[in-house]
Structure 1
Amino acid sequence: MGQHNISSVAHLIAEPVRSVILITLVDGSAMSAGALARAAGVTAQTASSHLAKLLDGGLLSVESKGRHRYYRLAGAHVSHVLESLATIGPVTPAWRHTPNRPAQALRFARCCYDHLAGQISIAVTQSMLTRGFIVEAGERQYAVTAPGCEWLQQLGIDMNDPAFGQASEHARQCLDWTERQYHVAGPLGARLMDAFLAWGWISRSSAARSVSVTALGWEGLKQHFGISRDACGPG
């Protein structure tokens, strides 16, 4: 990887308006230029200029639907870079204990591209580790154990699905930028979030990356993961 490529990508991410645009899309959503302009607090013309640079730099992709164009991150690798950058440097105590409700909600549970992040995701990961359903396996990887495969099968998640790929690729460790602990990512993390959404355990926010746990979700998390609402805090 050449120095020029690193510096070019770093320059694209470092610009404040572009960084806001990228972070806004970290949940894997696709948004119009107008919506991204409002999120970044700039004019449509300014946003259009920045979006063009992000497209040229390979950080975004665009899809046309009729007269509208929708932008999204170019892939999970871009989200992973952004989340990794966010873990550099300390999370200040002031941020951790902020009374700001949106910030609290983001720390509790949010989308990290195609999987869950935040306190609830850490709790899910720790439950699976404690119960022996996953184990640490090499650098930044988890392996799903035989009991884990059986347990996931009972939940309706088939680890033999070809979409999971090779066993060594089933579950990746993603460093949570607010909690400074690893949560489950990769195909398993994506399937868990899809399942939680399908079962009505969690719901997405229409205005932010945060997600909320429903009453049905708390029942399911307690039954299948041993996670109680009181132990996790507000959600």
Structure 2
Amino acid sequence: MAEGPNIVRLAALIGDNARAAALSTLMAGRALTATELADAAGVTRQTMSSHLAKLLECGLLQVGRQGKHRYFRLAGPEVAHLLESLMGMTPAAQGSQPLTGPRDQALRKARICYDHLAGELGVYVYDGMLGNGVLRQVEDGLRLTDHGQLWFRRLGIDTHRVSRVRRTFCRTCLDWSERRDHLAGALGAAFLSRIEELGWAARLEGSRVMAFSEAGERSLRSLFGGVDQEPEPPIRCVR
């Protein structure tokens, strides 16, 4: 018998189509009811309730009650990281096209991965932070540089406060569409929140898409104009 954690039960839970659909839907970071998740997965509410009980028992989900409704969400960023990594390791079907329509294109360009920015723009941001010396890859992961602390401060993010959150400060997450890394952890979440505060982008209702305005995308890309370049004071966009 091999030593170490038994991943068979966890893999079986995630591998079910309805449960996988529910988990993917919750990757948008919102809490949803069993009925909403059943509709997303194309199963009955009774069937989804059974699936949700198993996911709760395994620790993949957490549930809270508000009024007469129960709301389910992912148990934490570690679960989202696991799911996004699995998506990134899934090969595209043979002969399939990478883009199947405008909605898919929007999802590939910028989306929410639990609480941080993913997709083409998420990877662009992470590459820009490495290239501008904001982050540095080290043997045990990522490190925020002294220059990076100043860079985030000019953007309006207090990295000392973010570092006190009880979760991983910053780490990479394999992007399922780009098959490259984007920024996750508390720092990635703070960056996405700041983007929303500035009005550069907004979440589309019922979707993981982050829709950037033209001005918002220009502002985002302007943050990475050159090595060791400080970002300009952020411009708030009116949508």
Alignment of 1:124-143 (within 5 A): 124-139=125-140, 141-143=141-143
Alignment of 1:105-184 (within 5 A): 105-139=106-140, 141-161=141-161, 163-165=162-164, 169-184=168-183
Q: TM-score, normalised by structure 1?
A: 0.87
In structure 2, distance between residues paired with 1:196 and 1:188 = 12
Ranges in structure 1 where 5+ consecutive residues have no aligned partner: 228-235
Work out whether 1:97 is the aligned partner of 2:98: yes
Ranges in structure 2 where 5+ consecutive residues have no aligned partner: 227-239
Q: 2:34, 2:49 within 8 Å by CA — same for their partners in 1?
A: yes
Q: 1:33, 1:71 within 8 Å by CA — same for their partners in 2?
A: yes
- Which deviations, in whole Å up to 9, do the C-alpha atoms of 1:4-23 show, x marking residues without a partner? 74111111111110000001
**Structure 1 position 91, deviation (Å):** 3.5
In structure 2, distance between residues paired with 1:87 and 1:23 = 13
Alpha-carbon spacing, 1:210–1:65, altered in 2? closer, same or farther (3 Å): same
In structure 2, distance between residues paired with 1:185 and 1:130 = 17
**Structure 1 position 226, deviation (Å):** 3.7
RMSD, aligned CA: 2.3
Q: 2:77, 2:185 within 8 Å by CA — same for their partners in 1?
A: no
Work out whether 1:208 is the aligned partner of 2:207: yes
Of stretches 195-204 and 4-13 in structure 1, the one that deviates more from structure 2 is 4-13
Q: 1:91, 1:178 within 8 Å by CA — same for their partners in 2?
A: no
In structure 1, distance between residues paired with 2:98 and 2:53 = 38
Q: For residue 10 of structure 1, what is the aligned residue in structure 2? A: 11
In structure 2, distance between residues paired with 1:213 and 1:202 = 4
**Structure ranking higher in helix proportion:** 1
- How many corresponding residue pairs? 224
**Structure 1 position 92, deviation (Å):** 5.3
Q: For residue 229 of structure 2, what is the aligned residue in structure 1? A: none
What SS does the aligned partner of 2:136 have?
strand
Alignment of 1:78-89 (within 5 A): 78-89=79-90
Q: 2:200, 2:212 within 8 Å by CA — same for their partners in 1?
A: yes
In structure 2, distance between residues paired with 1:79 and 1:165 = 21
Alignment of 1:62-81 (within 5 A): 62-81=63-82
Alpha-carbon spacing, 1:176–1:71, altered in 2? closer, same or farther (3 Å): same
